[in-house]
A and B are shown apart, each in its own frame.
Chain A
Amino acid sequence: MPTPIRRVVATTAGIVALGLLITGCTATGSNEPVGEPRNGGTLTYASGDAEPSCLDPHVGGNFPQALISAQYLESLVSRNVDGQIIPWLAKSWEPSDNGLTWDFTLRDDVTFTDGTQFDAAAVQANIAHLQDPTTLSSTGYLALGKVTGTEAVSPTVVRFTLSEPDSALLESLSQPWLAIESPAALKRSQDENCAAPVGTGPFVVKSWVKQNAVTLVRNDDYDSPPTDAAHTGPAYLDTIIWRFIPDSASRYAALQSGEVDVIDNAQPDTIVQAAQSDSIEHLDSPRPGASNRIEFNSSKAPFNDVRVREAFIRSANVDDAVSSLFQGTATRSYSALSSVEATAVSDPSIFKFDPAAARKLLDDAGWNETDSDGYRIKDGVRLSVEFPVSTNQSIPAEQSVFEQIQATAKDTGFEVKLAPLDLSSWYAALASNDYDAVSAPYTKVGPDVLRILYHSDSIVPAPSGYFANLAQVNDPAVDELLTEAARTADADTRTSLYAEVQNRILDGFYILPLYDQQNHYLVRSDVVGMRTLPTVAVPTLYDAWLNR
Chain B
Amino acid sequence: MAEPVSRHPATLRGRLRFARTLRRLAVRLAGAVFVLWAVATITFFAVRLIPGDPALAVLGGPGSQASPEALAAVSAAYGFDQSVFVQYLAQLGRLATGDLGRSYALNMEVGPLVLSQLGGTVLLAVLALILAWVLALALATWSTRGGTVAARVGSGLEIIAAALPHFWLATSLIVVFSIWIGVLPPISTGGVAGLVLPVLTLGIPLAGFLGQVMRESLLLALESPFVLSARARGESERGVRWIHAFRHASLPAISLSGWAFGSLISGAVVVETIFARPGLGRTLLNAVTLRDVPVVIGVVMVVAVAYIVMTLATDALSRVVDPRLRLS
Contacts and interface: CB of A to CB of B under 8 A. Distances in A.
B52 A5 contact: no
Nearest to B189: A259
A8 B63 CA distance: 26
B178 to A, nearest CB: 5
A247 B276 CA distance: 8
Contact of B65 (A138, A209, A251, A256): A138
Given A211-B279, A249-B171, A191 B179 contact: no
A141 B67 contact: yes
A424 B290 CA distance: 7
B73 interface: yes
B273 A246 contact: yes
A59 B188 CA distance: 30
Q: Give the 5 A-B CB pairs with smallest separation, nearest first.
A: A60-B60, A424-B52, A428-B51, A133-B69, A253-B186
Contact of A54 (B62, B107, B170): B107
Task: Tell which of A1, A137, A254 has the most Cβ of chain B within 10 Å.
Answer: A254
B32 interface: no
Contact of A465 (B53, B107, B187, B289): B53
Interface residues of B, number: 60
22 contacts: A5-B167, A12-B167, A46-B276, A53-B105, A136-B58, A138-B66, A138-B70, A141-B67, A191-B107, A211-B279, A243-B187, A246-B276, A249-B171, A250-B275, A254-B276, A260-B187, A423-B289, A424-B56, A426-B62, A427-B56, A463-B71, A464-B71
Interface in B43-76: 50-53, 55-56, 58-74
A80 interface: no
A439 interface: no
A212 interface: yes
Contacts of A247: 273-274, 276
Given A59-B60, A257-B185, A243 B65 contact: no
Interface residues of A, number: 67
A483 to B, nearest CB: 20
Given A138-B59, A254-B185, A392-B289, A466 B274 contact: no
Given A191-B107, A257-B186, A424-B291, A249 B174 contact: yes
Contact of B64 (A54, A133, A138): A138
Among B53, B72, B116, B276, chain A packs the most CB atoms within 10 A around the CB of: B276
A50 interface: yes
B285 interface: yes
A250 B174 contact: yes
A81 interface: no
Contact of A462 (B51, B52, B68, B182): B68
B255 interface: no
Contacts of B188: 212
Given A138-B60, A249-B174, A428-B52, A464 B285 contact: no
B167 A253 contact: no
A33 interface: no
Contacts of B68: 462-463
A20 interface: yes
B60 A136 contact: yes
Interface in A209-266: 209-212, 243-247, 249-251, 253-254, 256-257, 259-260
A130 to B, nearest CB: 11
Nearest to B188: A212
Contacts of B56: 424, 427, 464
Contact of B61 (A62, A245, A260, A465): A62
Interface in A191-212: 191, 194-195, 209-212
A429 interface: yes
B263 interface: no
Contact of B270 (A5, A46, A50, A466): A5
A259 B185 contact: yes
Contacts of A9: 167, 170-171, 274
A215 to B, nearest CB: 12
Nearest to A8: B167
A16 interface: yes
A245 B107 contact: no
Given A9-B167, A136-B60, A211 B278 contact: yes
Contacts of B67: 133, 137-138, 141, 462
A142 B67 CA distance: 8
Nearest to A424: B52
A139 interface: yes
Interface string B69-109: 11111100000000000000000000000000000011110
A134 interface: yes
Contacts of B58: 136
Contacts of B74: 136
B116 A133 contact: no
Interface string A401-425: 0000000000000000000001111
Contacts of A142: 65
Given A9-B167, A136-B74, A259-B189, A53 B278 contact: no
Contact of A134 (B73, B116, B291): B73
A456 interface: no
Contact of B179 (A12, A194, A257): A257
Contacts of A256: 178-179
Interface string A425-460: 111110000000000000000000000000000000
Contacts of B126: none
A128 interface: no
A210 B274 contact: no
Most B C-beta atoms less than 10 A away, residue of A13, A243, A257: A257
A257 B178 CA distance: 7
B175 interface: yes
B157 interface: no
Contacts of A392: 289
Contacts of A20: 175, 179-180
Interface in A1-21: 1-2, 5, 8-9, 12-13, 16, 19-20
A299 interface: no
Contact of A466 (B52, B63, B116): B63
Given A62-B60, A190-B107, A464-B53, 4 more contacts: A250-B174, A424-B289, A463-B72, A466-B64
Contacts of A19: 175
B116 to A, nearest CB: 7
B217 interface: no
A16 B175 contact: yes
Contacts of B170: 9, 250
A25 B179 CA distance: 9
B181 to A, nearest CB: 10
B107 A424 contact: no
Contact of B289 (A1, A46, A250, A254): A1
A288 interface: no
Contacts of B283: 211
B41 interface: no
B51 A250 contact: no
Contact of B274 (A136, A250, A424, A427): A250
